[in-house]
């Protein structure tokens, strides 16, 4: 089979090459359970693009992650201790990722009428000992984040490496679904409905987290962060 030449994929939005069966499976899961865990399912050209982008990044391109948006932003080590770097699409690889997410957004809007308007995402690095305590990505009526997406980039992640995502199905759920952050695995869930946490990582852990947002334009300010 001819290999995919990434140069052909630049400046193409939405990306024409995507696996509709995968999008369909995500949508079916969202309809039936509000979340989708896809093991080893991220198309390899996306995983490779993200890995090459992440591998080329200097430590200085990461910043300490915080909680809250805009004026309420703060660093709280008791809650999360990962480092992040926002993906702007300024590299070919970043653009490939954003194009794939744009195609997924279009598919979800076409099938579920969610009115997703924009997408934002960042690389995250959890150093040894890092975690992100139980939280929701959006509080009802206070955020325009509608759908969360997390994709993992770690080869051969062992149970002893810790760092699992635990996705709880409700406020009362204390057990949750455990997801190992293995390369190619990704998770999508309704941002307001699923509390989740990242257990303490015992190995450096790389991922990309992203959010599909509905249009929160207000007072002539186009879709401000909230």
Ligand X SMILES: O=C(O)CCC(=O)C(=O)O
The answer to whether residue 165 forms part of the interface with ligand X (CB under 6 A) is: yes
Sequence-ordered strand ranges (E) for the chain: 35-38, 63-64, 83-86, 116-126, 132-135, 145-152, 165-167, 177-179, 186-190, 196-198, 205-214
The answer to whether residue 209 forms part of the interface with ligand X (CB under 6 A) is: yes
Which residue of this chain has its Cβ atom nearest to ligand X in the complex? 165
Could you tell me the maximum CA-CA distance found in the chain, to the nearest angstrom? Answer: 52
The CB density around residue 108, as the number of other CB atoms within 10 Å, is: 21
Report in angstroms how near the CB of residue 12 gets to Fe ion at its nearest: 30
Answer with the entry of Fe ion, ligand X, none that 54 interacts with (C-beta below 5 to 8 A by kind): none
Answer with the entry of Fe ion, ligand X, none that 46 interacts with (C-beta below 5 to 8 A by kind): none
Of 105, 180, 117, 201, which Cα lies nearest the Cα of 149?
105
Among 184, 198, 201, 210, binds ligand X (CB under 6 A): 198
| Residues between 134 and 163 with contacts to Fe ion, criterion CB under 5 A | 137
Site string for ligand X, 121-160 (x = CB under 6 A): ---x-------x----x------------x----------
48: left (phi over 0), alpha (psi -120 to 50) or beta: alpha
Site of interaction with ligand X (CB under 6 A): 124, 132, 137, 150, 165, 196, 198, 207, 209
């Amino acid at each position: 089979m001819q290999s995919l030449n990434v140069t052909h994929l630049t400046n193409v939005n939405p990306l024409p090459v995507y696996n509709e069966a995968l999008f369909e499976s995500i949508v079916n899961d969202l309809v039936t359970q509000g979340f989708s865990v896809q093991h080893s399912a991220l198309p390899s050209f996306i995983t490779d693009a993200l890995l090459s982008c992440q591998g080329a990044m200097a430590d200085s391109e990461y910043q300490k992650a915080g909680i809250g948006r805009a004026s309420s932003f703060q660093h709280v080590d008791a809650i999360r201790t990962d480092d992040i770097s926002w993906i702007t699409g300024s590299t070919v690889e970043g653009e490939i990722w954003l194009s794939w997410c744009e195609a997924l957004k279009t598919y979800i809007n076409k099938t579920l009428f969610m009115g997703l308007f924009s997408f934002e995402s960042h690389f995250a690095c959890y150093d040894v000992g890092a975690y992100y305590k139980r939280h929701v990505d959006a509080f009802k009526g206070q955020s325009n984040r509608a759908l969360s997406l997390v994709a993992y980039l770690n080869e051969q992640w062992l149970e002893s490496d810790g760092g699992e995502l635990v996705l709880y199905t409700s406020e009362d759920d204390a057990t949750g679904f455990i997801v190992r952050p293995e390369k190619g695995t990704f998770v999508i869930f309704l941002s307001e409905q699923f509390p989740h946490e990242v257990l303490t990582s015992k190995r450096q852990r790389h991922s990309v987290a992203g959010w599909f947002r509905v249009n929160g334009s207000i007072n002539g300010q186009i879709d401000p962060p909230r």
